């Protein structure tokens, strides 16, 4: 069973992603900021990380940098999907450069989110 971590500071947005994913995945954790996410990543192993770009304490980008910095870290090979309302091309490029595997712009189609998640999880397996 795939374990997913959702990181988002907006409770409604986080709940929305969770409800969409719950149709197919049950093991979902969530973190409301970068610090909390980092603590969870140190404790548990995840198959997919879904993060927002703008987060309190540690931004989404900084978090990805931290994850991808050390190859011995257990989340190093975990695929990262950014779901953000930042639409600028520069931000998307920055996200990919940091090590994200996919970038989904808000507003998103739930079907699109599900298919991307499926694709990333399959690639991870």
- Residues of this chain that interact with other proteins (CB under 8 A) are 10-13, 15-16, 19-20, 22-23, 85, 106-112
- Which SS3 state, helix, strand or coil, does residue 80 take? strand
Please, which residue, 1 or 23, has the CB nearer to other proteins? 23
Say how far apart CA 97 and CA 101 lie, in whole Å.
9
Smallest separation (angstroms) from other proteins to the CB of 10: 7
Nearest CA to 123 out of 104, 108, 101, 105 is that of: 101
Smallest separation (angstroms) from other proteins to the CB of 118: 15
Please, which residue, 71 or 88, has the CB nearer to other proteins? 88
Smallest separation (angstroms) from other proteins to the CB of 82: 14
Smallest separation (angstroms) from other proteins to the CB of 47: 23
Please, which residue, 22 or 45, has the CB nearer to other proteins? 22
Please, which residue, 44 or 106, has the CB nearer to other proteins? 106
CB 109 within 8 A of CB 85: no
Give the gyration radius of the chain's Cα atoms. 13
Say how far apart CA 10 and CA 32 lie, in whole Å.
7
CB 81 within 8 A of CB 98: no
């Amino acid at each position: 069973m795939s374990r997913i971590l959702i990181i988002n500071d907006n409770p409604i947005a986080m709940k929305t992603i969770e409800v969409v994913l719950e149709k197919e995945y049950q093991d979902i954790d969530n973190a409301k900021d970068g610090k909390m996410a980092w603590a969870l990543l140190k404790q548990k192993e995840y198959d997919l990380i879904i993060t927002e770009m703008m987060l309190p304490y540690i931004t989404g980008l900084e978090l990805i940098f931290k994850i991808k910095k050390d190859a011995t870290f257990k989340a190093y090979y975990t695929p990262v999907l950014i779901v953000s309302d930042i639409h600028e091309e520069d931000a998307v490029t920055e996200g990919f450069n940091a090590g994200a595997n996919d970038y989904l712009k808000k507003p998103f189609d739930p079907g699109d989110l599900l298919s991307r998640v499926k694709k990333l999880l399959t690639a991870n397996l």
